[in-house]
Amino acid sequence: MNETLTQTKELSPEDRSNWKADIAEGIDLLSEQERLVMALHYHEELTTKEISMVLEITERKVKKIRDRTLQKLLNR
């Protein structure tokens, strides 16, 4: 992740703007549950166990949603 952030800082202003637009577009394509899992994990820094308690789903389901969502965003 840090490598990606470093690479982002090295982008031209136009490329950086396009990159941000691509991310925003990708987030808009996610389901509410996918957005929640990603926000709780990456923004709120909750553990898988904490997310499962908040959303009342199994830890296995949280991991599956997180992993599937990452792949969805990376393969866009």
DSSP 57: S
**CB-based contact 19:33 (threshold 8 Å):** no
**Tokens standing for 14?**
């136009």
**Tokens standing for 9?**
């800082």
Low-confidence ranges of the chain (pLDDT < 50): 1-3, 5-6
Q: What is the pLDDT of residues 38-58, one digit of tens each?
A: 999 988 999 999 999 999 999
pTM greater than 0.75 (yes/no): no
